[in-house]
Structure 1
């Protein structure tokens, strides 16, 4: 009996200890997760839900709001400026990510597989563009594109091409393409560093075996490097595409959608509708924001469909 009572007492103590550990774990998880969860609810979920509500109103932010139902969405479908901005978004979504990923991957491959003495300096130089703020990058390229004393026109004149004070950002034929260069220039540095770290994790023995078999550098890049870092490339593609859809800071500073709306994008059009100097309509701007949200979700689903996530084992 004593042995049985002792065993029951041990089981009770063990159960109490387990319950105490479980409570401590629960308290720890609540304390650890609560700040992040509260921040998400307060600064992400709540504003998004309010945007859905605002999209059903006719409201300028000052006067009394008027409920208009889905009228803002009907107006958006009929708004030709929305579809023009969407076309520019799609153009940037195709061109900018392709250039950023290709250039970043090529530079990372060269820096990782070529024993240049200046490799460490090159890494700092490439990443330097990401240290600069978007405003600084935009102002820098505004001076480069300036028609009177811009660096680009000066370099072209050195090669015998007289531009006659041509302003690259002031012409509808060149403005949209001129914006691609600062977008790519400002985004390459970060992804060079990411790809360098990804490539450096590939076992050197794979490259050595390929070189012994007589493989050329470009064959190694496309048959070994790219397949083995496919997952990293996929993540970078997602970030660049989604960033190119919703980003508009450089465009706002350099052209503000001009000339004649030739560089306008969805995000900038929405911003000007809500906070512009002449027109304030938070309801209509919120409806366009919901449209932008649908585009972002659709882009992510398309990427998942045609570029599925794969696990790679060395």
Structure 2
């Protein structure tokens, strides 16, 4: 009989070290591209922003150290606080509307049998396929005073507002920027809630039906409690995204008329890259302020929306 080779303790230890080294190299090769991108495009710019926030610099000329002067000027800047108020207004209106509409649409398509339900899913998700620029331009046409669909629709029901420019009046411009944001965001969260509801056993709804529960009872007693963690994450992403976003405002109104739709991200952008003099230092100070607010908002959301999961 042929004898089996005997592995000495030294050889076994060497093989284990080689396996660990190969595993370590594989992990490094796997995470290096993602981590490198994070360092290059997120961490490094943020560190530079901290450095720029204590400078008086236009991005080209000589850098001048000013210490905390940019922050002092920022806290005394009326336009910063006006823009911040607009951000807060968007943060308390857009996320609840998006979540409410997305939940209702997802629940209806999950618990109702429609022949064209697959087509409806595509229709509801379609706005999310469009870019922010396309959505904003579409709604700018809807709000147009001369050729806009909104004024035409109002005339059809007997409300003739003339050539009213919804984005050109202080009384309506700010509120008119909310529907484009809601319309553009509903599709994404509709799909998320739809997939979450698909995991809920049908037997729970059948048992509730036998006990005489209507759709409202099922929604608030079964569906929402079971997908609460998903709703919590959606609310967090919506609030932070709405707070820092400004692309649609830039295209719809560019902060006008007379700053009535300005948000803090757009104000910072115009200071750094807008027409006239550029002040990267002051814009970076506003960016640091925005970062602190977003971290604080995240902590508040975590505190008042406990991460509780329901089991079935």
Mean Cα displacement is larger for which, 271-280 or 84-93? 271-280
- Equivalent pair of 2:53/2:284 in contact (CA under 8 Å): yes
Distance in 2, Cα, partners of 1:103 & 1:86: 26
TM-score by length of 2: 0.97
Q: Which residues of structure 2 form unaligned runs of 5+?
A: none
1:50-84 CA deviation, whole Å, 9 max, x = no partner?
00000000001121010000000000000000000
**Structure 1 position 233 matched with structure 2 position 217:** no
**Residue of structure 1 in register with 2:21 after alignment:** 23
Task: Report matched runs for 1:232-251 at 5 Å.
Answer: 232-251=230-249
- Equivalent pair of 2:205/2:218 in contact (CA under 8 Å): yes
Deviating above 3 A after TM superposition, structure 1's stretches of 4 or more consecutive aligned residues are 6-10
**Residue of structure 2 in register with 1:118 after alignment:** 116
1:156-190 CA deviation, whole Å, 9 max, x = no partner?
01111111211000111111110000000000000
**Residue of structure 1 in register with 2:45 after alignment:** 47
**Residue of structure 1 in register with 2:205 after alignment:** 207
TM-score by length of 1: 0.96
**Residue of structure 2 in register with 1:147 after alignment:** 145
**Structure 1 position 285 matched with structure 2 position 283:** yes
**Structure 1 position 191 matched with structure 2 position 165:** no
Cα shift at 1:311:
2.9
1:125-169 CA deviation, whole Å, 9 max, x = no partner?
011101111111111111100111111001101111111211000
Distance in 2, Cα, partners of 1:15 & 1:209: 60
**Structure 1 position 134 matched with structure 2 position 132:** yes
Distance in 1, Cα, partners of 2:147 & 2:277: 35
1:23-72 CA deviation, whole Å, 9 max, x = no partner?
11111111111111111111110100000000000001121010000000
Distance in 1, Cα, partners of 2:299 & 2:105: 29
Secondary structure in 2 matching 1:296 = helix
Distance in 1, Cα, partners of 2:257 & 2:7: 83
Corresponding residue to 1:38 among 32, 36, 39: 36
Secondary structure in 2 matching 1:312 = coil
Distance in 2, Cα, partners of 1:164 & 1:9: 92
Distance in 1, Cα, partners of 2:300 & 2:205: 33
Q: Which residues of structure 1 form unaligned runs of 5+?
A: 1-5
Mean Cα displacement is larger for which, 273-282 or 78-87? 273-282
Distance in 1, Cα, partners of 2:311 & 2:196: 13
Secondary structure in 2 matching 1:30 = helix
Distance in 2, Cα, partners of 1:193 & 1:34: 32
Secondary structure in 2 matching 1:147 = coil
What is the RMSD computed on CA atoms of the aligned residues? 1.3
Cα shift at 1:9:
4.8
